Structure 1
Amino acid sequence: MAVEHWFDFICPYCYIGQDRTKILRSHGITVVEHGLQIHPEIGPGGVVVGQRVGPQYEHLAAEAAAAGLPLNWTDRIGYSRPALTAFEWLNENDPVVAGRFAESVFAAYFADGQDIEAAELLAKLAADAGGDLTGVTSEPLDRSEALARSSGVNSTPTWIAHGQKVSGLRPRAWFEQWATLVGQSQESK
């Protein structure tokens, strides 16, 4: 049995959640990644949000630093559907390539402040990851989002294992403990 994980590229908790997924994998747990556009109201061009300050953003910065992930806020929340569409297209054919692509999209957005809506950027990141977006369609993302709805997933990041749904960013130590429990549960099956 695998852990199912839903994420969105514009979600800072998902960006840091990459670290939590690595914890699960370091325990030998298979994690199946799924894209989910968590803010469908944000359309092409994204939205301007201004400066990001306050305790929530300080916490995110500290968590990103602890995970070794650079975090540079821009004044805009991007439109993630094109990147999620590309991810799911790649994921359907080769999850390893899709994983490399996802890491590079997260880095482009949160570390480098790039526009992850740009087709040229996505094509380059896909090629760099070993994939090709020729003929990309939205059907794989539509299926991923339908699976999210049928699984009761309505926020990101969300991980599901053995009927337990974990939403939001939990501390690293919590994920270490959960990984041990999930791993033991998998061994007993």
Structure 2
Amino acid sequence: MSATPTVEHWFDFLCPFCYIAQDRNRVLREHGVVVNEHPLQIHPEIGPGGSLAGPRVGPTYEFLAREAEAAGLPLEWTDRIAYSLPALGAYTTLDDPEVADRFAASVFNAYFGEGQDLESRDLLLTLTERAGGDPELVRAAWESGEADRAVGRSAILAYEHGVEGTPAWVAGGRSFSGLRPREWFVTWAGSLG
């Protein structure tokens, strides 16, 4: 009896490619692949309050708009690049994978689909509760610093796997980062079985 294929995936809530990568992970899961999610703060230099974003025009943003539309994901750009550490830290407190998946989807949607403030702890606590998590555990993890330490441990794990950016996937001794076509993920899922 063969083991269920498993993929390790690193993401950051401020990454638009990661937002669309939710669709690619859905493809993997539909093909029987277990996707283990790991937060990775890709811009630790962006602190509280975020950073002003420049104009979001050009081929990269046209590509992102097309891919988001094809995946059925609304895409609204804000004028800031978010400070994502509180959201990533909240994610680390959610032990139940289904709760964590619901939380992640709602955070991505709040930021990229609705243009909400990803740094808002009130918003993150509300999304935690709606996903079925315990907001008090999240609050305690923030206050104790455990949430930040957990994100740090995930960054060390990423480094050990050679991951330097997001979205990134690792499986079967193979790793890659960046967004690839859906069809590529269908083929990759088949090769993992």
- Calculate the TM-score normalised by the size of structure 2: 0.91
Match of 1:80 among 78, 84, 103: 84
Stretch of structure 1 that moved more, 135-144 or 64-73: 135-144
d(CA) in 1 for partners of 2:122 and 2:112?
18
Show the counterpart of 1:108.
110
Aligned-residue Cα RMSD (Å) equals 0.9
Q: Which residue identity lines up with residue 104 of structure 1 in the other structure?
A: S
Show the counterpart of 1:174.
184
Match of 2:174 among 152, 164, 173: 164
What percentage of aligned pairs have identical amino acids?
Answer: 60
Show the counterpart of 2:65.
61
Equivalence map 1:1-189=2 (5 Å): 1-90=5-94, 93-134=95-136, 135-136=140-141, 137-138=146-147, 139-183=149-193
Partner of 1:152, secondary structure, is: coil
1:9-56 CA-partner distances (Å, limit 9, x unpaired) = 000000000000000000011000000000001110001113211111
Q: Which residue identity lines up with residue 168 of structure 2 in the other structure?
A: T
- Calculate the TM-score normalised by the size of structure 1: 0.93
Unaligned runs of 5+ in 2: none
Q: Is the 8 A contact 1:105 1:125 kept in 2?
A: yes
Q: Where has structure 1 moved over 3 Å in runs of 4 or more?
A: none
1:57-102 CA-partner distances (Å, limit 9, x unpaired) = 0010000000000001111100000000000111xx2111111000
Q: Which residue identity lines up with residue 127 of structure 1 in the other structure?
A: E
d(CA) in 2 for partners of 1:104 and 1:120?
14
Unaligned runs of 5+ in 1: 184-189
d(CA) in 2 for partners of 1:80 and 1:162?
29
**How many pairs are equivalent?**
181
